[in-house]
Structure 1
Amino acid sequence: MTTTQTSVVHDLGALAHRLAHPAGTPCVCEPPQVLADRPDGTVVRSGAIVAKAHAADADREALAARIALAAAPGLTGILLPPLTAPEVPGTAGEIRHPELSGDPRDPVPAGHAAVPGARPVTLWPLGTPVDPADPGAAPWAEAAGLLARLHRTEPPFPLPPMRGPAKAARAVARMCAALPGAPAALPVLAGWHALPAWARGESPPSMRRDRFLCHGDLHLGQLVRHPAPDGPWLLIDVDDAGTGDPAWDLARPAAWYAAGLLAPEDWSVFLRAYRSAGGPAVPAAGDPWPVLDVPARALTVQTAAVALAKCAAERRDPDAHEQLMIESCARIATLPPELASGPAS
């Protein structure tokens, strides 16, 4: 861990701890706990308070709009609301993102801050995450229902585009930087170049598919029960949320199913629950793959690119699951679209 990262973790912990235990309040909890520590998201918990430092290069106004979205009354019961959020006077472009100096003893205006490295900070209530040790209890139906409700909700104010395609492009760039010219990256690049421009973040989707409210980075790690420990499931992490093609939010489980990583019965539960809740991303009946094909391929490429970048950083070979996604990239680059998205044999 670098000195800057250590400083960010320390200051986040101090901030969360101070807010969880106001002056004069006895402290009986454990020391601040690091939940995640990456350049694009450092998360520290103290008591019932969670502080998150976002990416240093985050668009401040876009982030403020996304945090305001999580606090919007129309999203109650779908998105975990922040402890406080910027006001929305009419358009996302008018939202001002307040900042705090790196000193955790300073006041906290509107629940937002900046820590060393100029990373904006947001504050959240604690939720109970999905238990990775209990895959049989994975809330696929609940996740699908929340997505359907999100997609059916009219955006309450102007929002930036959903960052799903941009996130995929960033993953590929990260892989190329970590493995310049490496043969191991060729299948992933082949899959990437086979995608249409909109799925690579190089052009907007069709007008018919760009107006829906989307999460932008759906996976089971994006759900928590709130209030903890056994409240209803809610979606978290709105860093990539915005308007766009709702099929993108179904793309990761679709890609896992196509690659053989998600059991057919789990995929059926997810898809059936989404359709039952009136989700607009796929037709109400019939084959969903004509709509899901391109987003699922894009998420396959993104997953494989991230895996290869991590392998390079950790100086190791891909594990079995990572290798399966890399091989899927070669597969989707060579087969016709109507054959590329079916489950692996």
Structure 2
Amino acid sequence: MSATPLTERLAEIARASAPGAARPAGDVRVLKDTGVTVVRAGDVVAKAHPAGTGEADLTARLRAAGALPGVLLPPLDQRVRRAGDRLVTVWPAGEPVDPADPEAAPWEAAAELLARLHAVPADGLIPPHAGPADALVLPPAGGPARLLAALARLDDLTAGTGDGRYAAPAGVIREAYLSLPSGVAGARPGAGLLTHGDWHLGQIVRYQGAWLLIDVDDLGAGTPSWDLARPAAWFATGFLSPDLWRRFLSAYLGAGGSAVSHGDPWRELDVPARALTIQLAATAVASARTEGRPLDDVEQDLVSSCGRIIRAAAPQ
């Protein structure tokens, strides 16, 4: 990716935030530049959060990361910086999972981390060296809201278009969404446990020999089953093998995970998995529309999965 004023500013922030006297002069890489922008300089990562991110919510989430060592990657400090109109945080660099080798991914470690996260009440989390009066007030987790945002983006891009490459799939996705229980994406979470809000394999890194969860943008009070929605949806749509799903779910339950019951995990997972499939399909079609290209095979499979959701919900 070519440098932009934002990525250059993030590189400066990362260099200036490196611990100790040494400041990395080179080795700058842009890791991501979409709704968020992430730049690595040496062993420090600077992240520009999405436009419109609230500073109070982000600060609370940073403090929560620092309060859960061994579960969440701690930020280098809890200051929120700015680069233009974007809020910026700095983190130690970790080793990500190889997305091209899901068989080698740390499924058990990821499941155990989620189980430990879901054991934490969202209300009353106290950062280190603080007292009860400093208990954190965390916002709702971002899972359900991400579904609504994906649908809104799809509607914005396909409204009035006569191009069947996008209009027809968008119609299937909207119908699948309407088949979900009323209010599933708009209701405030009832469980009140700490949840990640956007978990997938890209949200775990190895740091100092241990796997840790990253990305606090959607961390907050939520229903834990939404954190298992992506692997559940991958399994249900055939993108994740039964063996990997079994390993993940068994490790989660074995670590005391509270999101699902042992006897029938799909009682809790069915709706979040359907919702996540719809979100992924909406994001895929919106991206194809933005890029002006046909849907690829994976994107078509996601739309087909939405069709199956509609048929499964139809009265028999």
TM-score (norm 2): 0.89
Aligned to 1:124, the other structure's residue is in SS state strand
Structural mapping, 1:113-152, within 5 Å: 113-116=81-84, 118-152=85-119
SS in 2 for 1:199: coil
SS in 2 for 1:33: strand
Structure 1 residues 257-312: Cα deviation after superposition (integer angstroms, max 9, x where no partner): 000000000000011000000001111x2221111011001100110011011111
Q: Aligned-pair distance for 1:336?
A: 3.4
Q: Report deviation, 1:158.
A: 2.2
Distance (whole Å) between structure 1 residues aligned to residue 220 and residue 30 of structure 2: 28
1:248 matches 2:243: no
* Whole-angstrom CA distance in 2 between matches of 1:151 and 1:22: 35
> Contact 1:257–1:264 (CA<8 Å) still a contact in 2?
yes
Q: Secondary structure at the match of 1:274?
A: helix
Q: Secondary structure at the match of 2:112?
A: helix
Checking the alignment, whether the CA contact within 8 Å between 2:31 and 2:38 is kept in structure 1 is: yes
State the one-letter code of the partner of 1:297: R
User: What's the CA shift string for 1:32-72, capped at 9, x where partnerless?
Assistant: 11000013x10000001100000121121111111111011
Q: State the secondary structure of the residue aligned to 1:279.
A: coil
The separation in 1 between residues aligned to 2:119 and 2:283, in whole angstroms, is 31
CA contact (8 A) 1:80 1:236 kept: yes
What is the aligned partner in structure 1 of residue 302 from structure 2?
325
Contiguous gaps of at least 5 residues in structure 2 = 126-135, 161-166
Equivalent residue, structure 2, for 1:193: 178
Question: For residues 297 and 166 of structure 1, what CA distance do their matches in structure 2 show?
Answer: 15
Shift of 1:139: 1.2
CA distance in 2 between counterparts of 1:60 and 1:54 reads: 10
Give the equivalent residue in structure 2 for 1:204: 188
Percent identity among equivalent residues? 48
**SS where residue 56 of structure 2 aligns?**
helix
Alpha-carbon separation, structure 1, partners of 2:55 and 2:314: 38
Q: Do the aligned residues in 2 keep the contact of 1:34 with 1:44 (CA within 8 Å)? A: yes
Q: CA deviation at 1:28?
A: 6.3
> Which residue does 1:103 correspond to in 2?
none
User: Paired residues, what number?
Assistant: 298
Find out whether 1:56 has 2:86 as its counterpart. Answer: no
Which of residues 232, 250, 255 in structure 1 aligns to 2:210?
232
Q: Secondary structure at the match of 2:152?
A: helix
Contact 1:293 1:337 in 2 (8 A): no
In the other structure, the counterpart of 2:61 is 66
Alignment-derived partner of residue 291 in structure 2: 314
Residue 69 of structure 2 aligns with an amino acid whose one-letter code is T
Paired AA for residue 104 in structure 2: A
Specify the alignment match of 1:219 in structure 2: 200
Q: Once superposed, what is the RMSD of the aligned Cα atoms?
A: 2.1
TM-score normalised by length of structure 1 = 0.82
1:113 and 1:306 mapped to 2: Cα distance? 29
For residues 53-112 of structure 1, the C-alpha deviation after alignment (integer angstroms, 9 at most, x for no partner) is 00121121111111111011xx11000000111xxxxxxxxxxxxxxxxxxxxxxxx3x2
Secondary structure of 1:15 counterpart: helix
